[in-house]
Chains A and B, each alone.
Chain A
Amino acid sequence: MKALEFDNCPTFEIAAYIDGELDLARELELETHFSACPVCSEELNHQKQFLCTLNSSLRSEDEIELPKDFTKQIVANAESNVVGLRNSRERLNAVFIVAALALFVLFALGGEAGSLVAGFRTVLDQTAAVAGFVGRLVYSFFVGITVVTRAMAAPFQTGLMISLTFFAFASVFLVRVFNRLGRN
């Protein structure tokens, strides 16, 4: 009977016992076991001693040397790196200020502003012309493709429809089958 008890030694829980991380009932069970089992009570003593050494050696490491002004450096870096703390109001303010500055520049330029605006307009006109050309190009390209596909598909339109429907059904069925397999 004793031998059986030793086979079930709670060796792996001794560490948690010393750390005070077991619930009360389990703690009591272990204590009863320790008083009966010399192997475990020796193990307990060893581990206790080991943990004492470990704690006393590791716990004083906050003596780590930090560079001078490390705190200031971190704060400065964090503040210049802001992503989350800016609120939308601040952003709106920024947009406002930029718009006001642009207006101010226009006013300051006075008479010169007219030619500046005119220059702007030619640039805008040219951009619009290029955009229109590109748009028309893309449009005619797609029209061409449609015409060619229609011409090719005309002779076997019904056949194509049938095979497309079949393909769609087959893929839905396969997806279902795979899903079921995956779940099992």
Chain B
Amino acid sequence: MTAHAIPINGIRSQTDGELIVSAIAGRSDGFEELVRRYQRPITGYVFRMLGNYESSLDVTQEVFIKVYNSLTKYSNEYKFSTWLYRIAHNAAIDHMRRNSMQTQSIEVENADGTFQLQIESRDPSPEVEHERGEWRNEIDAVVKCLPAAYRDLIILRHSKDLSYDEIAEITSLPLGTVKNRLFRAREMMRELFIDRGFTGI
């Protein structure tokens, strides 16, 4: 029971693996630190997937409860973050299926494995100089327009900076599909930008 001697700033410097071990041993501050580390990235990811702040908080809670209940099943052949994103990915997709009235269908895949735009982007804006902040808004809007299967990969790659291997692990997709969909997703984004009157992309 030497674990009790660890001071507060000690827990901050522990690895995810050490925190998991102490959480399984029944120490709630181990789990709390894990939540503190990952709540923002997970909420951010879920929020981008669902586009609704309240639901993304609910789903994030659901994700961490699931994590807590299956900590003993975690095997360290994956990174903890990969495992966590995988649970979050499944929870977000489940949520979208349950509320498919509000969001676009995530199932419509063409015969050649591509997806179609289901939300029309808004009218082309006049060609103006765009500030950085405006760029961010534009990109947010375009990401929102993407089919969920593409949006997922774009967020995991460009917002979470994950490797193709990790993305394949999280989404249970073959590596080739990840590569292919990311390519198509970027093509679609560029087309959307051109539709909105941005050239030079």
Contacts and interface: CB of A to CB of B under 8 A. Distances in A.
A88 interface: no
Contacts of A82: 68-69
Contacts of B72: 84-85
Contacts of B163: 21
A9 interface: no
Contacts, number: 115
Interface stretch (A66-74, A92-100, A129-137, A162-170): A66-74
Q: Is the interface of B mostly helix, strand, loop or mixed?
A: helix
A50 interface: yes
B140 A47 contact: no
Contacts of A14: 183
B143 to A, nearest CB: 7
B157 interface: yes
A59 B161 CA distance: 8
Interface string B52-79: 0000010011001101111111000000
Interface stretch (B29-37, B104-112, B120-128): B29-37
B71 A61 contact: no
A46 B198 CA distance: 13
A99 B191 CA distance: 70
A12 B180 contact: yes
A81 B65 contact: yes
Contacts of A73: 61
Contact of A77 (B44, B61, B71, B143): B61
B70 to A, nearest CB: 6
Contact of A57 (B47, B135, B180): B135
Interface string B8-37: 000000000000000010101001100110
A16 B44 contact: no
Nearest to A53: B135
Contacts of A46: 190, 201
A70 B35 CA distance: 9
Interface in A28-66: 46-47, 49-51, 53-59, 61-62, 64, 66
Contact of A16 (B135, B154, B183): B183
A112 interface: no
Given A50-B201, A57-B136, A70 B69 contact: no
Contact of B31 (A15, A16, A75, A83): A75
A71 B36 contact: yes
A79 interface: yes
Nearest to B185: A15
Given A55-B158, A71-B32, A84-B72, A61 B44 contact: yes
A16 B39 contact: no
Interface in B165-201: 179-180, 182-183, 186, 189-190, 200-201
B41 interface: yes
Contact of A66 (B40, B139, B157, B200): B40
Interface string A135-175: 00000000000000000000000000000000000000000
Given A16-B183, A57-B136, A82-B69, 5 more contacts: A58-B155, A59-B158, A64-B43, A78-B68, A85-B71
The 4 closest A-B pairs by CB, nearest first: A78-B68, A58-B159, A84-B69, A57-B139
18 contacts: A12-B183, A15-B183, A16-B179, A16-B182, A19-B164, A53-B135, A54-B189, A66-B40, A67-B57, A70-B57, A74-B39, A74-B60, A77-B61, A78-B67, A79-B68, A84-B71, A85-B26, A85-B68
